[in-house]
Structure 1
Amino acid sequence: MSIIYSSLASIINKISDEIHESFLFTFIFSILEFIENQWVNSYFKRFYPSETFLSFLNKNLILKNHIFNPLIVLLLFALFLLLSLNAPSTSLVITLIIAFLGFFIGSAILPEYFLNNDMKIIQFERKDIYSIGFCLTLLSIVFFFISIASVGGIPLLKPSIRYLLKPILTMPVFLIIPGTCLIASAYLKDFQDAKITRSHARFRFLFLLIIDCAFLLLLGYRTPLLAAFLIIIIMGFYGNIVSLWEVVIGALIGIGAIIGIGYFRSLGEMTITSSTSPIYTLQSRADFTLHVLNLLDFLGGNFGLTHGHLLASSIPGSDLGPRMMVGKLIAWRSEVTITPTLIGQMVVDFGKVGVLIEMCLLGFILGIGFKIMQKSKNYFYIGIYSLILTYTILGVETGILDIQVLLYFIIAIFIYSLILVKSRN
């Protein structure tokens, strides 16, 4: 396995080096270096709030030490359910209790029995991580231009053409998220090794976030945009690049962005009027998703209906995607995509029993990742934990059903498993 990794890393490093040495990218990075130096030495930086701003937040130990603990998933899931205009059925309440209990056991209890003594993490070269991230980001930008050219416009400016976007072209665009995550990890390593200052690291994190927002916002997608925002915030917090008060303010901005983009997109599509409350778009979305979950819970029962077929439909080449399959299951309409929440796939595939097992497994993956990150403080493991936690949080509504997201979890499981085995020997 190490031979395969070394060979692939060598190829990617050569590609990255060739691109960096080209005239175009030499020119681009020269401009960015100039802007960075102006930023770091700017007179106006002194007007930005200091570390002591809103210092009372640091006195809250839960916020300071556990704001991005895996249990945040349960908190956000509960808040999402509370947004709904209608109450869940009795059967669904039982399913939710099972789900919450399974996740709590997996994330908070089981990890305590692992990696308590001598933890041996797998070390990755900074250059390899940066090169992989750079190539993924460049590939996603190329597919962004191909995507907008295929529909003849920018979806943000013409919302109706967003539905003409082809998934086979847009899926590679979303690789910008893990791409910039890996690049940010490399910059975090530079900061940890004192090769760059905290101000330099903050500028580079901010620039990566701007790059993500610029391309993802133009496509008109909210979820990937929020993913990019969350990853940078989580990585910055655990890498001591972002302060707690910035996390809290950032969270408020993120919530505002979700509400704002959804509200104006709904106005553009004439599904609401200007007199409608902006938060109504969130409430109606949560209510519809909960209604879907009620139906899936009824279909799944105790032992499931589709027995893994819904999850397997994420594989490219399937007749229906997972969210289209949900549409067919509950409404016999395969031309629509419907989000089933975090446990929707679990309950319709394997019922309440499956919910308990899968939520426990999901919690365990995040719990082990959180423990490895806390104990090692390693730049790469901060990045990978931020990536899988982000998509779990977003999966509260959408479910973890996209093939690329499943791939992120498979990679995380593989690396964490190697660490568990290595640490036992």
Structure 2
Amino acid sequence: MSLIYSKLTAVLNKITYEFRRSFIFTTIFSILTFIEKQWVNSYFKSFYPSENFLDFLNKNKIIRNYLFSPLIILFVFAIFLILSLNRLTDSLIMTLIIAFVFFFVGAVVLPRFFIRNSSKKPALSFNAKDMYSIGFCLIILSIVFFFISIASVGGIPLLKPSIRYLLKPAFTMPVFLIIPGICIVGSVYLQYYKENKISRSQIRFRLLVLILISGALLLGLGYRTPLLAALLIMIIMGYYGKVLSPWEVVIGALIGVGAIIGIGYFRSVSEYTITATSPFYALQSRADFTLHVLDLLNYISGDFGLTKGSLLASSIPGSELGPRMMIGKLISWRTEVTVTPTLIGQMVVDFGRVGVAVEMCILGFILGIGFKIMRMTDNYFYIGLYSLLLTYSILGVETGILDIQVLGYFAIAILVYAIYIVKNIKNEEKI
């Protein structure tokens, strides 16, 4: 494994070196460096509130340290349930209680038995230069496939919404690699900031640039959820990397929620899909619809499930139907329509309530272990990895964790955390 890693990073380091010394990238980085200097030395920065603004938020222990703990998944899920316009059935309530309890056990209880060493030195560490090369190459790859995607449909989907449905998954999926790409590059910048190689103003500017780059590509293709993922990852990394103040995160989250409500409302009104005057109605109706789908899935799946893993396996490219299309087929809707089943939808369909208990416990354990390692080591790599996993878990509350690339991120995390736990146990035995 280490030999493969060494060979791969050697190749990617070479590619990164060649790209960065090319004329076009030398020009781009020169321009960005100039803008960064203007940003850092800008007079208008003095008008921005200080770090101690709304100090009562900064002093709150939960907001200061645990705002993005794994339990935020339960909080977001609870808010999603509250938004529903109709009462949940008793059967679904029981399934949700099982999901919440076992997630809590996995996230809070089980990690205590696997990692006890409180050493700041990571049991498994990664070279920042290697990580930067990986992230940089992912960004380049996503940019290349962005242009291939728009060339294949003859335009930019943001400007021509009708051609978005002509996009080919084989071309668009690599574009989504920009999300882990900016996550890895951003986490390396956290390490540079920690080592005092760059200032707080510089890293804030660079994270903003990464958001703008990813936003331009993802919004250009007409995708909103991946755009939210990119923004949320940067916020979580900035929060735990001490780049953003707690008050900035809280206010930013409120603005973000307000924007989602506003955009959803005005889009629905313009498309005549709702006539209600409440801006919250679009959000409530969406939550109600998704929970109605979950209720149907819960009804037909019982305690032991229906598809025995076939739904999750349908995430693999080349499957006849994708997982969300299979959901549509299961509830007797049109198979060409994708239906979001919530975070536990796949679990209940594949293996019923037993599957919900096991898979929610595993998900909680992955996030719980990641959170504990990140807090214990304060290492840039583990901050980035945890931010990536938590982001897709939060967004998965509605959509489910069903995309092959997201499942790939979790698979990599499981491997990394497993190696970390084994090395940590060995280190404890030596002491």
Same fold (TM over 0.5): yes
Q: Which residue of 2 aligns with 1:237?
A: 239
- Paired with 2:166 and 2:191, the residues of 1 have a C-alpha distance of 41
AA of the residue aligned to 2:383? I
Q: What is the CA deviation profile of residues 40-80 of structure 1, one whole-angstrom value per residue up to 9, with x for unaligned ones?
A: 01111111110011111122211111100100000000101
Q: Which residue of 2 aligns with 1:169?
A: 171
Pairwise CA distance, 1:148: 2.2
Question: What is the 5 A alignment of 1:17-416?
Answer: 17-117=17-117, 120-267=122-269, 269-272=271-274, 276-416=277-417
Residue 101 to residue 144, structure 1, CA distance change in 2 (3 Å) = same
Identity of aligned residues (%): 70
Residue 52 to residue 67, structure 1, CA distance change in 2 (3 Å) = same
Give the 3-state SS of the residue equivalent to 2:331 in structure 1: helix
Q: What is the CA deviation profile of residues 226-285 of structure 1, one whole-angstrom value per residue up to 9, with x for unaligned ones?
A: 101110000001001011011011111221232233334434544345x64332221111
Structure 2 gaps, min length 5:
427-431
- Paired with 1:291 and 1:249, the residues of 2 have a C-alpha distance of 32
Determine if contact 1:222/1:261 at 8 Å carries over to the other structure: no
AA of the residue aligned to 1:322? P
Give the 3-state SS of the residue equivalent to 2:268 in structure 1: helix
- Paired with 1:341 and 1:147, the residues of 2 have a C-alpha distance of 29
- Paired with 2:354 and 2:81, the residues of 1 have a C-alpha distance of 21
Residue 46 to residue 6, structure 1, CA distance change in 2 (3 Å) = same
Give the 3-state SS of the residue equivalent to 1:339 in structure 2: coil
Determine if contact 1:310/1:349 at 8 Å carries over to the other structure: yes
Pairwise CA distance, 1:164: 2.4
- Paired with 1:118 and 1:218, the residues of 2 have a C-alpha distance of 45
Residue 210 to residue 262, structure 1, CA distance change in 2 (3 Å) = same
- Paired with 1:290 and 1:279, the residues of 2 have a C-alpha distance of 16
- Paired with 1:149 and 1:281, the residues of 2 have a C-alpha distance of 34
Q: Which residue of 1 aligns with 2:15?
A: 15
AA of the residue aligned to 2:79? L
Structure 1 residue ranges, 4+ long, deviating more than 6 angstroms after superposition: none
Pairwise CA distance, 1:167: 1.9
Pairwise CA distance, 1:339: 0.4
Size of the alignment, in residue pairs? 424
Determine if contact 1:263/1:278 at 8 Å carries over to the other structure: yes
Q: What is the CA deviation profile of residues 335-372 of structure 1, one whole-angstrom value per residue up to 9, with x for unaligned ones?
A: 11000000000001000011001000100000000000
Determine if contact 1:222/1:258 at 8 Å carries over to the other structure: no
Pairwise CA distance, 1:88: 1.4
Determine if contact 2:58/2:245 at 8 Å carries over to the other structure: no
- Paired with 2:208 and 2:130, the residues of 1 have a C-alpha distance of 22
Residue 327 to residue 68, structure 1, CA distance change in 2 (3 Å) = same
- Paired with 2:148 and 2:41, the residues of 1 have a C-alpha distance of 38
Pairwise CA distance, 1:205: 0.8
Structure 1 gaps, min length 5:
none
AA of the residue aligned to 1:221? Y
- Paired with 2:152 and 2:89, the residues of 1 have a C-alpha distance of 44
Pairwise CA distance, 1:170: 1.5
Pairwise CA distance, 1:162: 2.4
Give the 3-state SS of the residue equivalent to 1:315 in structure 2: coil
- Paired with 1:95 and 1:49, the residues of 2 have a C-alpha distance of 45
TM-score by length of structure 2 reads 0.96
- Paired with 1:171 and 1:136, the residues of 2 have a C-alpha distance of 12
Deviates further, 204-213 or 233-242: 204-213
Deviates further, 140-149 or 299-308: 140-149
AA of the residue aligned to 2:252? G
Deviates further, 227-236 or 141-150: 141-150
Q: What is the CA deviation profile of residues 387-425 of structure 1, one whole-angstrom value per residue up to 9, with x for unaligned ones?
A: 000000000000000000000000001000001111111
Pairwise CA distance, 1:208: 0.8
- Paired with 2:89 and 2:171, the residues of 1 have a C-alpha distance of 39
TM-score by length of structure 1 reads 0.97
Pairwise CA distance, 1:149: 2.5
Determine if contact 1:191/1:198 at 8 Å carries over to the other structure: yes
AA of the residue aligned to 1:39? W
Residue 352 to residue 231, structure 1, CA distance change in 2 (3 Å) = same
Determine if contact 1:259/1:278 at 8 Å carries over to the other structure: yes
